[in-house]
Structure 1
Amino acid sequence: MKFSILFAALSVLLAASSRAQDAIVVSPDKQLSVKVSVNNGRAEYAVSYKGKVMLENSPLGFRTNEGDFATGVKYLSKEEGVVNKSYTQDRIKRSEIQYQSNKLTYSVENAKQQKVNIVFQVSNNDIAFRYELPVWKDRQSCVIELETTGYKFPAQTTTFLSAMMGSMTGFARTAPSYESGYEADGPLGKPTRNNDGYVFPGLFRIGSDGWVLLSETGVSSLYCAAHLSDGTKDGLYSILYPNIKQNNGFGSTGAAISLPGVTPWRTITVGSNLKPIVETTIPYDLVDPLYEPSQPYKMGKSTWSWIVWQDASMNYDDQVKYIDLAASLGYEYILMDAFWDANIGKERMKELIKYANSKKVDVFLWYNSNGSFNDAPQGPKNKMNTSIARKHEMKWLKEAGVKGLKVDFLGGDKQETMRLYEDILSDANDYGLMIIFHGATLPRGWERMYPNFVGAEAVVASEMLIFSQGVREAEAYNASLHPFIRNTVASMEFGGSLLNKYLVKSNEGRNKRLTTDAFQLATAVLFQNPVQMFGLTPNNLTDVPAFEIDFMKTVPTTWNETLYIDGYPGKYAVIARRNNSQWYVAGVNGQKEPVKIKIQLPMFAGKKVSMYNDDKEKVTFLKEVTVKKNGELEVEMQSGGGFVIK
């Protein structure tokens, strides 16, 4: 009897102790909830939204060269707080942002009595968490070798993921560069070819319960970038650090940090529909500028000969034609691409820049990032890879009047590579230069962190439309994915809006474009990047309907607001963006058949609007339509077609 009473009392004490270790943090609107706990020596968390499980118990933790925080940890304490932050930003999907979250600091220690804080911030529809490491006795630094952080999805989940490219593969061994396609509604646990995992961002549909978007932000020179592992059959995806084979096998796979130090933020966006996914600003809410801009940077549109006219166009006369095209369109910039150094040279480039400036056009120049980590032959080379070379080159660029650089072939996510990204950006700011990265990793909060960063590729972009029939066939399908996945977490320099019928200089014979003109106009709005290199060619001024050219002259590249309207990734996408008081609603159809949709457009309720759309023969037209007083409008999109309403 006494034993039974004692056992019962002990059970109550153990249950109470277990409950004391549990911590719950909820969003300000009480809809999103995160539970954090320690079970059997492992920290874990679970996520629910509107009472439905979005993530089951998922592991937290990491291992360092100084101690293990993946197993054998004990709960220490918890502390609650709030975060309120307002900021403005000129180059993302919104210009004015109010961020409010509830904060939980959950402290644990390992077997060596080393402490770490696991910090969660939960706002309406967004979760962010990271690890904060204090000084441990006499240790002022450590190497984080791996993370056991994971995401355990319910069984009914389907995936929208893009495989990490193999290290030292692709063109001139420049991969990985985040240029694999996404598969829509894939199964949980599908392995990648080389078990290299999947890139951020990753989208997951939790059956009929909702959606989850995973990514990370705040990655600087102080850490490596991470990605997702192949999933297990029971739905667990874990954080992976870069493959040691990246960058020709040179450099680390983990992260060396000073103490106290922090990891990047892992982000989880949750919604019962896709609206929170499209509209999230969480990549920027968690970070702040790392330095002041040396001058105001001007966003805008650019011409670009290379995308259609290719390498042969990198000569003085053809660049004059594209400067004239930019001037005719009222574009702010021209981008002159690879081999300008050999085919034009610095002295004649100065003449070209003066000519461009006389036409009120400024210049971006292409550079190879390479020093030692790939085989890309294009020049200029060995100008961006060291501080001494960069500063010498950038001094000339500033004196010549160049306004920005497109730096290419940076494949890899190692901490050393993140340091190169940051060094290029920081040095460029000293010389008043904007930076676009190509053949690059996903930007992780960089639009806010680095004031002169104006975009990155990190997607199967327009150049692959030139090189691959398969990519041309999948163009509309891919476009229907980007607003929900890649482009929702970072600017995306796609280089599109191609109006040639054939994607070659002659505009005939091969590389036939398989999407409509209305589709191409729509992507100018659908794809968000503050400096847009559009793929128009000089002949488009006369062989394309004037209303299409007028649209491309006036479409903005910066936005004050972005709204989800309708869509399903891999099928079709419709979003709205506002520039000052002007709304643009853009849609594309990635399916093999036409689709009719009824959409709600409260910003146009009862108003007459201009609609760019396609008829059944896929000929693009412009007409005036009236939106119902209740904001409803029926729209038909052809296969491979699209529309814009303004």
Structure 2
Amino acid sequence: MIKPSIYISLLTSSMLAHAQLPLSVTSPDGQITVKLEKQQNQLVYSVNYGNQEFLQQSQLGLNTNLGDFSQSLKYKSHTTASVNESYKLHNAKVSEVNYTANTLKAQFENQEGKVLGVEFNVSDSDVAFRYQISGAETDTRIKVLAEYSAFNLPDNATTFISPQALPETGWMQTKPSYEEPYTFNEALGTPSANGVGYTFPALFKNSDKGWLLISETGVDSHYVGSKLSEGTKDGVYRISFPQAGENNGIGATYAAMAMPATTPWRTITLGTSLKPIVESTVAFDLVKPLYQASQEYKMGRSTWSWIVWQDPSINYDDQIKFIDLAASLNFEYVLIDNWWDKNIGRERMAELVKYANGKGVDVILWYNSNGWWNDAPQTPQNRMNSAPARRNEMTWLQSIGVKGLKVDFFGGDKQETIKLYEDILTDANQYGLVITFHGSTIPRGWERMYPNFVTSEAVLASENLVFHQNSLDLHAYNATILPFTRNAIGAMDFAPVFLNKRLSQDQTVGTTRKTTDTFELATGVLYQSPVQHFGLTPNNLEEQPKFVIDTLKAMPTVWDETRYIAGQPGQDATIARRHLQTWWVAAINGENKAKRFDIDLPMLAGKKITLLFDKKDGSAGTKQVTVSNSGKLTLNLLAQGGALIIGR
């Protein structure tokens, strides 16, 4: 077992307080350089990769009730150091991480004599920064009213970013919930769909020089969840706080903290290709667990009747069918969705959990997060939004053997709402419950911060494939964007893998799937979520060939290693993930034309592998193939098709 360890070596100290700006810090490999200086009386930073500019001079600073920290800041001191930390993850895209970075901490004094610290961590693929604020002994608390942190993109950069939704819009006024489609290669400064900025993560293509992904991590109950502002015509995007109408108008839009205060990290992952973005662990590198796990939590796969069979399936008999399906597939969980309290009832739910446990399957139950911040009628309601109700409910859940909850319909990023996420997670840990969030915000390092957190939706997820034919028509295209955006920063509960042609219970009505069966199987690996909810139905056991069922039985959901192999947003994506000694390589084609291309698999060079491929009719085929000694393998993908490679 790797034990957490941190090694810090002091390189420069505040003895150099007389030193003048600019200051700089480079990555351990020397490729990334961050420069900190003053421009027009403002503190600014810039980021270069090699000799290429990835962020031009971008403003830093805060505005608070204790004073302004954006203008006329006086340099005080700085230190630089190196950091090397090893840690383990049990629920992510990698299991062991060795984080190495160089740091720069600089202190500045504002006109009121209060101190703003700016801290940069620079690794070989990531730049991260945050602020520390300190003042007099009488300064015991602070309100951060605005953050001026900016990201000034180079000319000719383009965007792959998701617009922020307006508050109390969408179905039953449940937005914002990070479910807007991404722009595709759009010009900088193009107005967003709703005029209120963009959600994290935000992907930018730096012309032909490379890529950068901007996000944040370390957000807990002490701060708000942030987003990007509208971009200027010059390509400047700034940190923006929640809208007043979020959470039904309840709670402030600013952050309130005790002094001295530290903000969350703003992260920038960059490189000449998408490889560092797919493989980055920066969301976890910069955070620590906020509490110890009360037990060892189980990750795994889950059946879910609602995603295809919808509300009518939330009854005792249909849930028996999906428990049996989970048992037949060796899945760990079954998810029982909304209205279970009315359609099954608490007494029969206890019987259902006992039946599932007897089959070796654990139960996850759905809950509505709220009682008053949207109009979603689904129940159970008013059980998760207050500590007394929540703890009473969790006591009952623990007594009948429930192992997890899916909590839905949040609608905002105010500090008030972030605290609710944290409170649910913290209480659930005391009752041995894993937590999935839906209709929710993105995870911001939460896999490491909260050991019983497993996944969040925060994406235009698979329920839309059932609701709208247009979503199914664009399914393959959108699937090639998500590995490089939303899923790059944390677990994503998309709920993949549909093998029915018509997405309804009787398969005579409903939306029609355009993707191949192998494409669908590949998304079970392409999308990373430590508890993966599958779009499978009982008929799939009889209709699919044995090798497909065997593949599903063996498919992992937690990984020891993840590698970018190939791909571009909107075109195709190939990602390799290793579980123990076995590599699973998922490839998908997002375009409406067949493709043939070579991929490099050095870890499987000269090895015999199992290849699942597209047959002409869109069903899955399988064969044994030997990868060349150079590690090259040729793939043939149908339009909206895929491939899945398994080897060791």
TM-score by structure 2 length? 0.96
Measured in 1, the distance between the counterparts of 2:21 and 2:559 equals 45
Worse-matched range after superposition: 226-235 or 607-616? 607-616
Question: Which residue of 2 is the match for residue 270 of structure 1?
Answer: 270
Question: What is the one-letter code of the residue matched to 1:60?
Answer: L
Worse-matched range after superposition: 509-518 or 283-292? 509-518
Partners of 2:455 and 2:530 within 8 A in 1: yes
Question: Which residue of 2 is the match for residue 554 of structure 1?
Answer: 554
The DSSP-based 3-state class of the residue aligned with 1:476 is: helix
Measured in 2, the distance between the counterparts of 1:316 and 1:619 equals 33
1:423 equivalenced with 2:415 (yes/no) = no
1:342 equivalenced with 2:342 (yes/no) = yes
1:101 equivalenced with 2:101 (yes/no) = yes
Matches within 5 A, 1:132-531: 132-531=132-531
Question: What is the one-letter code of the residue matched to 2:308?
Answer: V
| Superimposed CA distance per residue, residues 78-124 of structure 1 (whole angstroms, 9 cap, x where no aligned partner) | 21111111000011111000001111011111111211100001011
The DSSP-based 3-state class of the residue aligned with 2:97 is: strand
Partners of 1:38 and 1:74 within 8 A in 2: no
Deviation at 1:249, TM superposition (A): 1.3
Deviation at 1:623, TM superposition (A): 1.2
Deviation at 1:372, TM superposition (A): 1.6
Question: What is the one-letter code of the residue matched to 2:455?
Answer: G
Question: Which residue of 1 is the match for residue 8 of structure 2?
Answer: none
The DSSP-based 3-state class of the residue aligned with 2:525 is: helix
Change (3 A) 1:471 1:19: farther
Number of residue-to-residue matches in the alignment: 630
Measured in 1, the distance between the counterparts of 2:616 and 2:154 equals 42
Deviation at 1:65, TM superposition (A): 1.0
| Superimposed CA distance per residue, residues 300-347 of structure 1 (whole angstroms, 9 cap, x where no aligned partner) | 111110001100000000001111111111111110000000001100
Deviation at 1:19, TM superposition (A): 8.0
Measured in 1, the distance between the counterparts of 2:218 and 2:175 equals 23
Deviation at 1:136, TM superposition (A): 3.1
Measured in 1, the distance between the counterparts of 2:373 and 2:497 equals 32
Measured in 1, the distance between the counterparts of 2:75 and 2:310 equals 60
Measured in 2, the distance between the counterparts of 1:368 and 1:460 equals 19
The DSSP-based 3-state class of the residue aligned with 1:523 is: helix
The DSSP-based 3-state class of the residue aligned with 1:104 is: strand
Question: What is the one-letter code of the residue matched to 2:152?
Answer: K
Deviation at 1:351, TM superposition (A): 0.5
Question: Which residue of 2 is the match for residue 8 of structure 1?
Answer: none
Partners of 1:38 and 1:75 within 8 A in 2: no
Deviation at 1:194, TM superposition (A): 2.8
Partners of 2:353 and 2:400 within 8 A in 1: yes
Runs of 4+ more than 6 Å apart: none
Partners of 2:61 and 2:149 within 8 A in 1: yes
Deviation at 1:561, TM superposition (A): 0.1
Question: Which residue of 1 is the match for residue 119 of structure 2?
Answer: 119
| Superimposed CA distance per residue, residues 268-293 of structure 1 (whole angstroms, 9 cap, x where no aligned partner) | 00101111111000000000100001
Gaps of 5+ in 1: 1-16
Partners of 1:501 and 1:508 within 8 A in 2: no
Measured in 1, the distance between the counterparts of 2:66 and 2:214 equals 29
Measured in 1, the distance between the counterparts of 2:75 and 2:612 equals 59
Partners of 1:115 and 1:136 within 8 A in 2: no
| Superimposed CA distance per residue, residues 521-549 of structure 1 (whole angstroms, 9 cap, x where no aligned partner) | 00000000011111110011111222211
Deviation at 1:237, TM superposition (A): 0.4
Measured in 1, the distance between the counterparts of 2:273 and 2:349 equals 51
Partners of 1:480 and 1:572 within 8 A in 2: yes
Measured in 2, the distance between the counterparts of 1:82 and 1:135 equals 27
| Superimposed CA distance per residue, residues 396-427 of structure 1 (whole angstroms, 9 cap, x where no aligned partner) | 00001000000000110000000000000000
Question: Which residue of 2 is the match for residue 36 of structure 1?
Answer: 36
The DSSP-based 3-state class of the residue aligned with 1:424 is: helix
Gaps of 5+ in 2: 1-16
Question: Which residue of 2 is the match for residue 604 of structure 1?
Answer: 604
Deviation at 1:617, TM superposition (A): 3.7
Deviation at 1:72, TM superposition (A): 2.1
Question: Which residue of 2 is the match for residue 47 of structure 1?
Answer: 47
